Structure 1
Amino acid sequence: MSHSQLDQLIIMANQIADNNHLDTDAESVEFIATHIKKFWARSMKEELIAYAKEGGDKLNVLATQAVMVLSEQYTSRST
């Protein structure tokens, strides 16, 4: 995936996080992670997970937490 595509993934993840604040941060993180899991292509998720694991400095806090939840889910499923 090119750098500009990664930039777009970061923007989209941050927008999802910015627009989905629920009662608690934990609920928000779970919602964001579920949304990305359901609607993003596997390659998109993998690219964002790799970016977050490398530091993910452009992701906001909730987006980072959601991506790390996804990472744990993918690791536990061995996919």
Structure 2
Amino acid sequence: MAAAVPSEQRMANQIAANFRHVPDDRAAEAIASHISRFWDPRMRARLLELVEAGADGLDPVVVSAARLLRQPQEAPAG
């Protein structure tokens, strides 16, 4: 019997599927933005743990988005 896919992984892969029509770098930015704005911090942390552990079945664009989520946010110029 196959192990259940964590909900954070399933949802992140679904978000990535919605951005399949744009280049990977822009898709990763959009996914990271969506996750940052709408996901609970615990969900974000769990996704980052899954990426760090190399979970099977993660969309490569989700992995790229996770790298962006880990980067410190730049303060707006002004």
SS at match of 2:44: helix
Q: Unmatched 5+ residue regions in structure 2?
A: none
Equivalent position of 2:42 in the other structure:
43
Structure in which a larger fraction of residues adopt helix = 1
Equivalent position of 1:54 in the other structure:
53
Structure 2 residue 27 is matched with structure 1 residue 13:
no
AA in 1 matched with 2:65: A
Distance 1:46 1:11 in 2: 15
Identity %: 31
Equivalent position of 1:27 in the other structure:
26
Aligned residues: 72
TM-score under structure 2 length normalisation: 0.78
Distance 1:73 1:49 in 2: 14
Equivalent position of 2:63 in the other structure:
64
Q: What's the RMSD between the two structures over aligned residues?
A: 2.3
Query: Does the 8 A contact of 2:28 with 2:65 survive in 1?
Result: yes
Q: Higher Cα Rg: structure 1 or 2?
A: 2
Distance 1:31 1:41 in 2: 17
Distance 2:11 2:23 in 1: 21
TM-score under structure 1 length normalisation: 0.77
